[in-house]
């Protein structure tokens, strides 16, 4: 006999407009599913993206924000280092700094977020 905890006993109701329902129907039909099945799978997939093993996952918004922080940090540290050594920056040098910082900011942000997750035990 199947595990009773696997039975679906809870219901989630959502009201939509006729146009919204038609769009959902098209998406469900494309996967040969009922609207209810498609919605359940989509909702659960979305929930699984945001929660992993009881820990909040890193969202794309967090990636973008962290990437900007990493980029700004890189630029700031480079500018402060040059100022501390009594160097001045031309507009061209500043633009090069910005381009270098932006070039790999997403990769660096992901590395930092993964490191923080591991350090936190996630």
Q: What is the pLDDT of residues 62-116, one digit of tens each?
A: 778 888 999 999 999 999 999 999 999 999 999 999 998 888 888 888 888 778 7
pTM of the model: 0.48
3-class DSSP state of 73: helix
Q: Are residues 45 and 70 in the same domain?
A: no
Helix axes 105-119, 91-103, angle to 10 degrees: 50
Q: Are residues 43 and 86 in the same domain?
A: no
CA distance 81 to 48: 43
pLDDT at 54: 46
pLDDT at 105: 86
Q: Are 24 and 42 in contact (CB under 8 A)?
A: no
Overall number of domains in the chain: 2
The two tokens of residue 39 are: 């919605």
Q: Are residues 48 and 69 in the same domain?
A: no
Q: Are 104 and 69 in contact (CB under 8 A)?
A: no
Q: Are residues 38 and 78 in the same domain?
A: no
Q: Are residues 114 and 68 in the same domain?
A: yes
Does residue 118 have a pLDDT over 80?
no
3-class DSSP state of 51: strand
CA distance 72 to 76: 6
Alpha helices in the chain (DSSP H): 18-30, 35-50, 60-84, 91-103, 105-119
Residue 86, domain extent:
60-119
């Amino acid at each position: 006999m199947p595990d009773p905890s696997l039975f679906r006993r809870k219901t989630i109701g959502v009201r939509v407009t006729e146009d919204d329902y038609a769009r959902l129907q098209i998406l469900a039909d494309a996967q040969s599913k009922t609207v209810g099945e498609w919605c359940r799978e989509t909702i659960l997939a979305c929930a699984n993206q945001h929660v992993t093993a009881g820990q909040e996952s890193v969202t794309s918004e967090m990636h973008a924000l962290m990437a900007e922080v990493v980029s700004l940090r890189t630029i700031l540290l480079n500018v402060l280092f040059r100022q501390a050594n009594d160097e001045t920056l031309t507009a061209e040098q500043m633009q090069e700094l910005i381009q270098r910082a932006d070039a790999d900011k997403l990769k660096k942000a992901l590395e930092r977020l993964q490191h923080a997750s591991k350090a936190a035990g996630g």
